[in-house]
Amino acid sequence: MSELLNVSHISAAYGGIRALRDVSLTIGEGEIVSVLGANGAGKSTLLKCLSREMRITEGEIRFAGRPLAAKPYAVVESGMVIVPEGRQIFTKLTVRENLMIGCCQRRDKEGIAKDEERVYTLFPRLLERRDQYGGLLSGGEQQMLAIARGLMARPKLMMLDEPSLGLAPIIVSQILDILKDINSGGTTILLVEQNARKALSISDRVYLMNVGSIIREGPAEAFRNDDSLVNAYLGG
Amino acid sequence: MKILLQQLVIGISIGSIYALIASGYALVYSLLDFSNWAHGEVCMLGAYCCFMAVKVAQFPFWLSCVLGVGGAVAVSLFNERFTYRRIRSNGSPNMFLMIAAMGLSTTYQNLATVIWGGKFKQMPKVFSKSSLNVGGVFIGTTDLLCLALTVIVLVILLLIINKTRFGLHVRAVACAGRTAGILGVRIDRVIALVFMLAGALAGLAGILYGMKYNVYPTMGNVGLKAFIASVIGGLGSVPGAIVGAVLLGLIETVASGYISSGLRDLISFSLLILILLVRPAGLMGVDVQDKA
């Protein structure tokens, strides 16, 4: 398995407060990797650094064998896309327009049309609501739209920030199933979650974060079988 | 009755100039949530560019208009690129943008006075002062031209915003700038293009205003009227700005026709305060938060 993302020894800070300390992780092509941790562990900060929304003060990030592009739009162009925390749907754009923002970097009309069809097959609800404003969707539908919007970029790596947040358990399970489908279609997935048990159920490997550092890593089974670990740091 | 119709024609004509300026105002406001007080001076500089081209360089009038619009685009882009963008990248509050814009506005007014003097400059009489007589109502050729051009330009603007890829990006940034950025929209480029678009509209407005009246350093104060128009329509809404502008033009001319032209500004600005008190979201605006 070849390496897709390599984060080595990065640190980041908000003003003077260090939020990430010497974080390293790798993701192989085709994997589902979860970064777990309690609130404030630095998970979202890590994603902000990966999407280049936030500057890293130390370390290096390599993606697909090259240094990661420096600007957010260039990161998307290189094949890394984020599904942000709290969905962040464009409430005043229609569902279809939301999807079109997802592929704003692409010019291949036929490819875009194909991918649009593909996301409607994955999420039939979105087809029904294609011309409605994003703000009118329910929480679960918005999460589906956020994932679909990410897929429209045809990413190599899709990073999801707390996709289970505020959703009913049955919807969470549906969404995780769909993530598995997307993964088997060849998209590598980085999942950032507080909802540990759910995330563990679909992950290959796991990193555990606490106060800005990675404190533990390993295959998902090791975590699944270690209740004390889950209880101590994660809950859920 | 004829007098009223006459006033309405003039009102719509001046309203259409307000609309050109107000829609640029609204576009910038929708993206950056600040009132670009230097927008009126972009009009003024566009008008001077056109005037210089036609009177000093003796270029043909159509070419001078293109140069005037081009000059306004350049000034507007300059403001964004070297002032507003820097303030944004420093992470300063929006209030700083508005204050910087006020500074630019006064700077440009004074600069124009230094370069061209305070006197009124007359645009060439390209269109004869003749007017069409429609059943006793006289419609000036310049008024007619103003109206026709504005309608065409604003229809194109609305099509760009609602039907093109660029327009979609503008609406996305207006709706949630941060999210648009992490999804791959090139925010700084979208903003720069919007400033250029707003500059072009302002330049055209400046030339039309100059043809209707004169060209002078403080003519950018017409930007205040456009601001009132976009408050009436709802800050940040382009269709709102257009409706508000025509409405304001009508109210002003009818008021100056029937009451006194000296009361025109009194009425406009009272209306501004009244709207802010009674209906702060305007006719078509949605959010009323943080108007800077």
Question: For residue A190, with 0-12 CB atoms within 10 Å meaning exposed, 13-18 middle and 19 or more buried, which class applies?
Answer: buried
Contact list in A for residue B287 (CB cut-off 8 A) is: none
Nearest CA in chain A to B169: A101
The answer to whether B251 and B79 are in contact (CB under 8 A) is no
Question: Alpha helix locations (H) across A29-138?
Answer: 43-50, 72-77, 95-102, 109-122, 124-128
Q: How far apart are CA A154 and CA B15, in angstroms?
A: 47
Long-range Cβ pairs for the range B253-262 (8 Å, 24+)? B253/B7, B253/B8, B253/B10, B253/B11, B253/B14, B254/B4, B254/B7, B254/B8, B254/B11, B257/B3, B257/B4, B257/B6, B257/B7, B258/B7
Q: Which fold has domain B2-108+138-278?
A: ABC transporter involved in vitamin B12 uptake, BtuC (1.10.3470)
Any A CB within 8 A of B162 CB: no
Nearest CA to B27 among B250, B266, B281, B242? B242
Nearest CA in chain B to A152: B183
Question: Is A84 in contact with B165 (Cβ distance < 8 A)?
Answer: no
Test mutation, A50, A101, A160, chain B, max B CBs within 10 A: A101
Torsion, CA B279, CA B191, CA B18, CA B205, rounded to 10: 180
- Give chain B's radius of gyration (CA, Å): 19
Nearest CA to A163 among A180, A95, A110? A180
Q: Render each residue's pLDDT in chain B as its tens digit; 292 residues.
A: 788 888 888 899 999 999 999 999 999 999 998 999 999 999 999 999 999 999 999 999 999 999 999 999 999 999 999 999 999 998 888 899 999 999 999 999 999 999 999 899 998 877 766 777 877 788 888 888 888 999 999 999 999 999 999 999 999 999 999 999 999 999 999 999 999 999 999 999 999 999 988 999 999 999 999 999 999 998 889 999 999 999 999 999 998 888 888 888 899 999 999 999 988 888 876 554 444 4
Q: Give the type of residue at B249.
A: G
The angle that helices B2-32 and B222-233 make with each other, rounded to 10 degrees, is 80
Q: How far apart are CA B133 and CA B138, in angstroms?
A: 5
Question: Is B169 in contact with A97 (Cβ distance < 8 A)?
Answer: no
Residue with the two structure tokens 């609204």: B26
Q: How far apart are CA A65 and CA B81, in angstroms?
A: 34
Query: What is the largest distance, in Å, between two alpha-carbon atoms of chain A?
Result: 51
Distances from the Cα of B265 to the Cαs of A40, B222, B260, in angstroms?
55, 11, 11
Q: What secondary structure letter does DSSP report for B124?
A: P
Contact list in B for residue A97 (CB cut-off 8 A) is: 168, 171-172
Any B CB within 8 A of A6 CB: no
ipTM of the complex: 0.92
Question: Is B172 in contact with A73 (Cβ distance < 8 A)?
Answer: no
- In DSSP terms, A169 is beta-bridged to none
Q: How many CB atoms lie within 10 A of CB A131?
A: 9
Any B CB within 8 A of A203 CB: no
Test mutation, B182, B188, B189, B286, chain A, max A CBs within 10 A: B182
| Average of per-residue pLDDT values in chain A | 92
Any A CB within 8 A of B181 CB: yes
Residue with the two structure tokens 């566009």: B46
Contact list in B for residue A53 (CB cut-off 8 A) is: 178, 181-182
Question: Is A84 in contact with B179 (Cβ distance < 8 A)?
Answer: yes
pLDDT of residue A233: 65
Q: How far apart are CA A47 and CA B242, in angstroms?
A: 42
Every domain of chain A and the residues it spans: 86-154
pLDDT of residue B288: 47
Nearest CA to A200 among A167, A234, A161? A234
Instruction: For residue A35, give both structure tokens.
Output: 């970064």
Residue with the two structure tokens 């043909």: B60
Listed by number, the residues of chain B in 84-143 with a beta carbon closer than 8 Å to a beta carbon of chain A are: none
Q: How far apart are CA B212 and CA B207, in angstroms?
A: 9
Question: Is A101 in contact with B169 (Cβ distance < 8 A)?
Answer: yes
Q: How far apart are CA B187 and CA B189, in angstroms?
A: 5
Q: How far apart are CA B205 and CA B65, in angstroms?
A: 11
Q: What's the pLDDT tens digit per position in A66-94?
A: 999 999 999 999 999 999 999 999 999 99
Contact list in B for residue A88 (CB cut-off 8 A) is: 176, 178-179
Contact list in A for residue B165 (CB cut-off 8 A) is: 100, 104
Nearest CA to B219 among B34, B53, B14, B42? B42
Q: What's the pLDDT tens digit per position in A164-212?
A: 998 999 999 999 999 999 999 999 999 999 888 888 899 999 999 999 9
